[in-house]
Structure 1
């Protein structure tokens, strides 16, 4: 049988061609989307001996586990219907974490643990915590006998001074923020908010590990049951939501007053933190990796859009402790110190490129996924470079 004549059927040939092109385009987009989702699901190979952790809506499986001291690898599966983070906590201090694990996805976490009993978070902040027991091993016992290194007294002291100065600036900026909100001056409030965030980013490699204050100062709505309407949505992002999304200071006074009080508490806690020599580099590497895996990909300044400015401030905060170690590391391994310097330069160059040539920085919502992945890769490379410092100094 011959094909029907489109003109005899009353359908113009041009209309058929248009419909065919639209259908072909839909198929291409669908195929591309399926390929993209499949590529996201294709996780890296599971490391031999990795410990499987399955995070559901309310609990982890298992809720209690025991590992020997030293290096452990965890394979974390998000079996819930919300993005999650998984943390190992020593009291209120975050030892290690993985953020922004999407439903149905997995993420690997490798960490070196000392003997002790730790908490593990299981998805939402309101969920019960599990227990991780780390038993002594031959390696951990040998580490106890390691003598102190007097060469690190200066760098450790100088970094403590830096944390005190930056946390002091955060206090002043949050007080100015609270005052501006009290009188209803949105412009002044936004300016003070940016200053406070900059100071906070400078200390976040350490402050981000103090879980109770981090959850009060910088909680993310996606990790809360009620999102932006959740009572636990406080601190910086609640203020950001009001000033930029609502374009108003209404209802923010209790939030900014609490934020200013928490800034004082943070300064006092930072003063009390005790550092070991290896912490200077390891905290910086850990924070660089956290930024790469979470905020750089998904965005962090979701309402103001000033992610690139905040990432630049974060890089400054990462460089401070590393720069204090570089004179010592350069004597031990010039190649390692050069790799670190090059990695910092690469991250900064990528941020500048994404910010664009104009006086007004590009909003992060306009940065496409591929560009975010490229920036993330520079943060991963930075973390890898910083990870070379401790071994070079005999601290690994």
Structure 2
């Protein structure tokens, strides 16, 4: 689960787009034709409000004191592209292929609330766009099948978890909790594209928006996680929340096959999964009550690796050295994770509260070593 974000609607084929996102950096992103966004704690200044449709570079500088994120949104709030976790004093570059139409660029200081929006327009003829290669078409079709399968496989596991909660069986619910989340964690970037489904099922208490009441507005896995591990009991409200979780996940399952998927969105999604690990799993914040962080960690890595493997025929052709780096770093991180696997034949890992600071640092270093080349995958696919 990312920090609370703007509500978005399910992506459709209204406008195809291709996105390649770079890393935060201290140096200038460059590009004389770039749209420059100066984000601060109270403003979102945009250098151009009208630009030619096609390949667009957006150079973001965070001049504020808070971590920020920047979105390009369709008028109905669907996300065209985004860049999260831009720290104070840092810069980031985003490259997107955007079709003609009206959009908003939104800065979100503190990564909370509705953000500060600026209306912009991409001018030019509608339609068009480069034809995909057979390898790209194959990657998109295979990834769509993958996310649908993950959703389908999640539902019976989530139902087993919900049934245990409704039966008041704390130990059975604890055992079913982590397995019920694996499919979601493998495909989290796609799951997060569907409006308020993500905050309904996967928000942590500290991810609630200002004004939301945890007693009334907090739902989903982590709300039940707290009841099971922190409170060690199940009450009538928890039983209702179990039914709500299944209803929300059923909604996700129905929608996931409709997601707008492009080769570069697959690549960017892989990087987002590594960002999820870095900001939530390695720190122990994601599963703060159950300490099942390593299960989520492994699922995120598996989802990222699946995305890369589907794009590998393109990456090998366009940037063979990058492909070699990714092969090496995925193998290294998986080997490191396997040290904490308590049962090689199953998805069981050491409780994260038993993992020391030195070991957590080693895991963090492994994630960072993979994240750096993975951040270049979208650009390689877009060549």
* Alpha-carbon separation, structure 2, partners of 1:334 and 1:300: 35
Which one of the candidate residues 227, 245, 248 is aligned to 1:242?
227
Gaps of 5+ in 2: 1-23, 31-35
Q: In structure 1, how many angstroms separate the alpha carbons of the residues matched to 2:241 and 2:199?
A: 13
**Over residues 261-309 of structure 1, what are the superposed CA-to-partner deviations in whole Å (9 max), with x where a residue is unaligned?**
1111111221111212222222212332343245434631111111112
Residue in structure 1 matched with residue 95 of structure 2 by the alignment:
112
User: Do residues 348 (structure 1) and 334 (structure 2) align?
Assistant: yes
Output one character per residue of 1:171-223: Cα deviation in whole Å (capped at 9) or x when no partner.
Answer: 22222222111110112212222121111111113213334211211112223
Residue among 74, 77, 82 paired with 2:60: 74
Give the alignment of 1:123-272 within 5 angstroms: 127-136=113-122, 145-224=129-208, 225=210, 229=214, 231-250=216-235, 251-272=237-258
Q: Deviations over 1:72-125 (max 9, x none)?
A: 232346657xxx663526324483242496xxx555443224364136363578
Instruction: Check whether the contact 1:205–1:318 (CA below 8 A) recurs between aligned residues.
Output: no
1:241-272: CA deviations, max 9, x gaps? 11111111223122221111111111122111
| d(CA) in 2 for partners of 1:194, 1:272 | 26
Higher helix share: 1
Q: Which runs of 5+ in 1 are unaligned?
A: 1-42
Contact 2:38 2:45 in 1 (8 A): no
Report the Cα distance in structure 2 between the residues aligned to 1:190 and 1:77, rounded to whole angstroms: 44
2:242 & 2:136 partners in 1: Cα distance? Answer: 38
Show the counterpart of 1:23.
Answer: none
Q: What is the CA–CA distance in structure 2 between the aligned matches of 1:207 and 1:65, rounded to whole Å?
A: 32
Aligned to 2:351: 363
Mapped partners of 1:74, 1:214: distance in 2 = 26
The separation in 2 between residues aligned to 1:336 and 1:125, in whole angstroms, is 31
What residue is the counterpart of 2:18 in the other structure?
A: none
Instruction: Describe the shift of the 1:126–1:378 C-alpha distance in structure 2 as closer, same or farther (beyond 3 A).
Output: closer
Alpha-carbon displacement from aligned partner over 1:127-185 (angstroms, at most 9, x marks no partner): 33322445448xx98x9542222332222222111111110122222222221111101
Distance 1:179 1:345, change over 3 A: same
Greater Rg by CA: 1
Structure 2: distance between partners of 1:309 and 1:272: 27
Once the two structures are superposed, residues 338-378 of structure 1 have per-residue CA deviations (whole angstroms, 9 ceiling, x without a partner) of 2111111122233334x387998443345455654543343
- Assess if the C-alpha contact under 8 Å between 1:54 and 1:61 holds in 2: yes
Give the match's secondary structure for 1:96. Answer: strand
TM-score (norm 1): 0.72
- For residues 313-338 of structure 1, the C-alpha deviation after alignment (integer angstroms, 9 at most, x for no partner) is 11111111211222343355443322
Name the structure, 1 or 2, with higher relative contact order (CA <8 Å, separation 6+).
Answer: 2
Return the alpha-carbon distance in structure 2 between the equivalents of residues 108 and 220 of structure 1. Answer: 28
- 2:284, 2:291 within 8 Å by CA — same for their partners in 1? no
Pair 128,93 (structure 1): closer, same or farther in 2 beyond 3 Å: closer
Aligned positions of 1:57-96 closer than 5 A? 60-62=42-44, 66=48, 70-76=56-62, 79=65, 86-88=69-71, 90=73, 91-93=77-79, 95-96=81-82
Aligned residues: 340
Residue in 1 that maps onto 2:285:
299
Of residues 6, 23, 26, the one that matches 1:45 is: 26
The 1-side partners of 2:83 and 2:263 are apart by: 21
3-state DSSP class of the match of 2:139?
A: helix
